[in-house]
Amino acid sequence: MSKEDLDRYSRQILMNNFNKDSQLKLLNTSVLIIGAGGLGSTAILYLGSAGFGRIGIVDNDVVEETNLHRQVIHDETKIGLSKAVSAQQTIKKLNSKCECYVYKLLLTSENALSVIKPYDIVIDATDNVCATYLINDACILTNKILIQASALRMEGQLSVFNYNNGPCYRCLNPIPPPAGTVTKCNVSGVLGVVPGIMGCFQAVEAIKIAAGLGANYSQKLLIYDAELGKVRVVKTRPKQENCSICGKNPSITSLIDYEDFCNMKKCTNPNMSKDRITVEEYNEILKVNKPHVLIDVRPKEAFQLSNLPNAINIPKLELSNNAQKIKDLLKKKAEEANVSEVPLYLICRSSATSLNSIPILKEQGNFKVSYIIGGLLEWKKKIDPSFQIE
């Protein structure tokens, strides 16, 4: 190890159970962090500074103002920027020697194995049930250790999977929760520091595993409740012989359709065909001048940079407060066109935000609403190559 590195990491090498060899192990270990949000922010900061040789960051989202209370790796100057790139910029300033790669993509059954393969340890810092099953399965198929955590309101949970013949996420949760029983931060809220704490726990686990000190939370579940001030560490079941992915005769041998598995298609799309339209279909609607309302649900900074001329900007988190305004707009359009009702379309950069906006609107009334598949990126690709977006 170089003298520079010895100096830089001297304070952790000073510990009697963490020596130069442990630090070298970190330098030779790579970690993939999936999600640069509330959990990922602190996990990435500590992993970037701890002396890992290589880290990778996966995120397809852009920084929004409402993220900043918890996603502390980003700041006000990064609003509208890719979260993965923003996190990478922070790490480059923090530790220029840490190789930091970004994947500006949504992890899917098609790309997950190739993204995960080059890394030793995987951190699930995502915010949804489909991603968690996808990452779990991908880690089993590529034999990677998985550190999974989640946070909501004032509570957090964490566990380490596929470690030393321990259980995987499916061993504990063979059946996904019914659609409609799961809520997210943008609906239930979250105290900013709670995912930050859970991300720190993920970083500790990654460091201990990499340094050969052993994981704390394999076959254990850490449950943190900031409301009660309670930390529980509970023993869970061991690896299950009949587990459908890591058991003796697995029925899942390649990645599957996780939205379908988690019943999410039904959840977000009670009438699938009506709930989403393609960019080609929307282009047709524009051409024939069919009356409708188009809402761009991106943050206003992103909207100001580029937008479709007929779009109205109402960022996702302002939708509930503007439900009446939207109803009035629809009514006005319908009256102008002399029809009983007109459809509402949602658009955003990639369609992740607009898809998630649909349940928010449906809570506020009986909206006839669809999102545009692939969003503005798809619009640029298929309809208007001159559209300014990346």
Partner 1 sequence: MGKNITLSFGGGMEILFNNTKEREIELPDSVVNIKDLIAYMKDELLQERPELFVLNDSVRPGIIVLINNADWEIEGGLEYELEDDDEITFISTLHGG
The catalytic site residues sit at 185, 348
The closest of 28, 58, 33, 27 to 45, measured between CA atoms, is: 33
Alpha carbon separation from 263 to 62, 106, 235 (Å, rounded): 26, 19, 29
- For helices 375-382 and 279-287, the axis angle rounded to 10 degrees is 70
Nearer to partner 1, 14 or 234 (CB): 234
Question: 108-127 mask for partner 1 (x: CB under 8 A)?
Answer: -----------------xxx
Residue 92 touching partner 1 (CB under 8 A): no
Handedness of CA 58, 64, 67, 68 (dihedral sign): positive
Interface with partner 1 (CB under 8 A), residue from 28, 114, 164, 183: 183
The reply on whether position 39 binds partner 1 by CB under 8 A is yes
**Min CB(250)–partner 1 separation in Å:** 19
Q: Which member of 10, 77, 165, 188 binds partner 1 (CB under 8 A)?
A: 188
Bridge partners for 371 per DSSP: 276, 346
Torsion of CA 67, 71, 74, 77, to 10 degrees: 30
> CB neighbours (10 Å) of residue 165?
10
Rounded Cα distance between 373 and 329, Å, is: 23
Residue 37 binds to partner 1 (criterion: CB under 8 A): yes
Minimum distance of partner 1 from residue 213's CB (angstroms): 25
- Under the criterion CB under 8 A, does residue 184 sit at the interface with partner 1? yes
Q: Give least dist CB 260 to partner 1, A.
A: 16
CB atoms within 10 A of CB 257: 13
Question: According to the binding rule CB under 8 A, does residue 190 interact with partner 1?
Answer: yes
Asked whether 369 and 354 are in contact (CB, 8 A), the reply is: no
Encoding tokens for residue 272? 């699938």
Task: Describe the crossing of helices 193-210 and 38-50 by its angle, rounded to 10 degrees.
Answer: 40
- Closest separation in Å from C-beta 127 to partner 1: 4
Closest CA to 12 of 60, 49, 58: 49
Contact between 217 and 159 (Cβ < 8 Å): yes
216 forms part of the interface with partner 1 (CB under 8 A): no
Which of 132, 162, 357, 370 is the binder for partner 1 (CB under 8 A)? 132
Residue 63 engages partner 1 in binding (rule: CB under 8 A): no
Site string for partner 1, 148-167 (x = CB under 8 A): -xxxxx-xxx----------
**Of 40 and 51, CB closest to partner 1:** 40
Residue 11 phi, psi dihedral angles, 5° rounding: -70, -30
Residue whose C-alpha is closest to residue 80's, from 313, 276, 283: 313
Which of residues 105 and 187 has its CB atom nearest to partner 1 in the complex? Answer: 187
Binding segment (CB under 8 A) for partner 1, from list 109-117, 233-241, 331-339, 347-355: 233-241
CB 229, min distance to partner 1, A: 11
Binding site for partner 1 (CB under 8 A): 35, 37-40, 125-129, 132, 149-153, 155-157, 172-178, 181-185, 188, 190, 195, 198, 221, 223, 225, 227-228, 232, 234-237
